[in-house]
Structure 1
Amino acid sequence: MSHKRSGLVAGLITGLFAALICAAGLGTAVLFQQSLPSEVMAFGNGQPVSLALSLLIALVVAVAIGAVRPRSLVLLPFAALYAGGAVVAGQITGSSIMIGATLRAQASEQAPADLGDVTLPNLTEGLPDALMLYQAPLAETWAAWLYIAVAALTALALVTLRVTRVRRAQRAETAAEEVAAEEPEYRAPFEPAQQPAAKPTPDLFAPRNPARD
């Protein structure tokens, strides 16, 4: 019987890489959101776009983890953590750079701010204001927490379905192997366990038994 791998380590690694990529992508989207058509951002105050990005992040993380055919239930909370963390990291990184670039442009009397200038000073300058996105009362920041919850719960549900299917399939394979190992070889009724040895073809020059002739 072959040993079934849990996929825990591989799932953790692939999920982490997917979360980092998603965080970078979301940060870029936040940074350049003004480049999107105004109709898109004005629709629903931009919440449908943010929800769609959260769902996309959850899907990418879940697909990355599910690609290794995981069996371990430990991956379930990590899937939610990766997806939710990617949303938080992307929002904070993009907002920090955007706010920092604006503050530095105002301080140096340069306008408009170059939001594409992804530098460490811009990141550190706007980080305190970006963190206020999660420190304000829930009544004011409910949307930010909603995006995190949507990403985390969706990733959790998708990975749960994947792990459940893999575990069910491997249990079926194990049961089939056990049945095949225990089942005796089939023989038709009255079939001898061993075929009788074939008699040699009579030879004209071979001596014969007179008693039989």
Structure 2
Amino acid sequence: MSHKRSGLLPGLIVGVLSALVSAALLGAAVLFQTRLPAAVIAFGNGHPLSLASSLVVALIVALAMGAVRPRSILLIPVAALYAGGAMAAGQIAGSSIMIGATLRTPPAERGPADLSDITLDNFSAGLPHAPALYRDPLSVSWAAWLYIAVAALAALLLLTLRVVRVRRAQRALAEAETDSSPEPEYRAPFEPAQAPTPKPTTDLFTPRNQPKD
């Protein structure tokens, strides 16, 4: 007997892949942020740009998981976890490469980040220093935690809206099909499907045909 697949496992796999892609994109954004205009980076101390990155990460994760399993309630908290993890991983990856490239490059040769800076050596050199932001007191590291919380909450809300809309649409479709289907005819127990054919009755006062001579 075959069992219907729940689709939960594909949703988890797609969520992991989308989180990895989001983390890679965010890491690249952190690494190459120095190439943006100074006015953009300095606007609001960089918080609007980072918050926008959090929303993009949440959107990618929520859309990917919602496309695979749009009715699963179990994937909603998982999407929040994936989005928050992708935000933290992207920040650490980009900062590690940026710090490693700075440490391994002479001061006279330092410049804006380049694709050649994305190496395993730079990542390994900067990795011990990158998570220091999360280990600092909350009065210092509140911004980094805020970006993670925004990404997780946005993914949670986006996937919740998706699940609610899909479930509501399917429920309305099922109710419409139920209303349009004809009601079955009521039949008493042991009642035959077709009424028996009535037999001709004999009238006592009707004269019978006399036999002819």
TM-score bin, normalised by smaller chain: 0.7 to 0.9
What amino acid maps onto 1:77 in structure 2?
Answer: P
The offset of 1:45, in angstroms, is 0.9
Alignment of 1:92-103 (within 5 A): 92-103=92-103
- Give me the TM-score of the superposition, normalised by structure 1: 0.77
1:120–1:110 distance in 2 versus 1, CA, 3 Å = farther
What amino acid maps onto 1:85 in structure 2?
Answer: G
- Give me the TM-score of the superposition, normalised by structure 2: 0.77
What amino acid maps onto 2:152 in structure 1?
Answer: A
Rounded Cα–Cα distance in structure 1 between residues aligned with 2:183 and 2:39:
68
- 1:184 alignment partner in structure 2: 184
- 2:207 alignment partner in structure 1: none
- 1:190 alignment partner in structure 2: none
Rounded Cα–Cα distance in structure 2 between residues aligned with 1:148 and 1:21:
16
Contact 1:61/1:83 (<8 A) preserved: yes
After superposition, the C-alpha distances for 1:57-97 in whole angstroms (9 at most, x for unaligned) are: 11111111121242221101111011111110110000000
The offset of 1:174, in angstroms, is 3.6
Unaligned runs of 5+ in 1: 186-192, 195-213
| 3-state SS in 1 of match to 2:113 | coil
- 2:113 alignment partner in structure 1: 115
- 2:76 alignment partner in structure 1: 76
Contact 2:35/2:112 (<8 A) preserved: no
**In the alignment, is residue 104 of structure 1 matched against residue 124 of structure 2?**
no
Rounded Cα–Cα distance in structure 1 between residues aligned with 2:172 and 2:10:
23
Identity %: 64
Contact 1:8/1:70 (<8 A) preserved: no
| 3-state SS in 1 of match to 2:127 | helix
After superposition, the C-alpha distances for 1:126-154 in whole angstroms (9 at most, x for unaligned) are: 01110101111111000000000000000
Contact 1:6/1:70 (<8 A) preserved: no
- 1:56 alignment partner in structure 2: 56
Rounded Cα–Cα distance in structure 2 between residues aligned with 1:93 and 1:54:
15
- 2:190 alignment partner in structure 1: none
Rg larger in 1 or in 2? Answer: 2
Alignment of 1:160-199 (within 5 A): 160-178=160-178, 183-184=183-184
Rounded Cα–Cα distance in structure 1 between residues aligned with 2:43 and 2:163:
37
What amino acid maps onto 2:76 in structure 1?
Answer: L
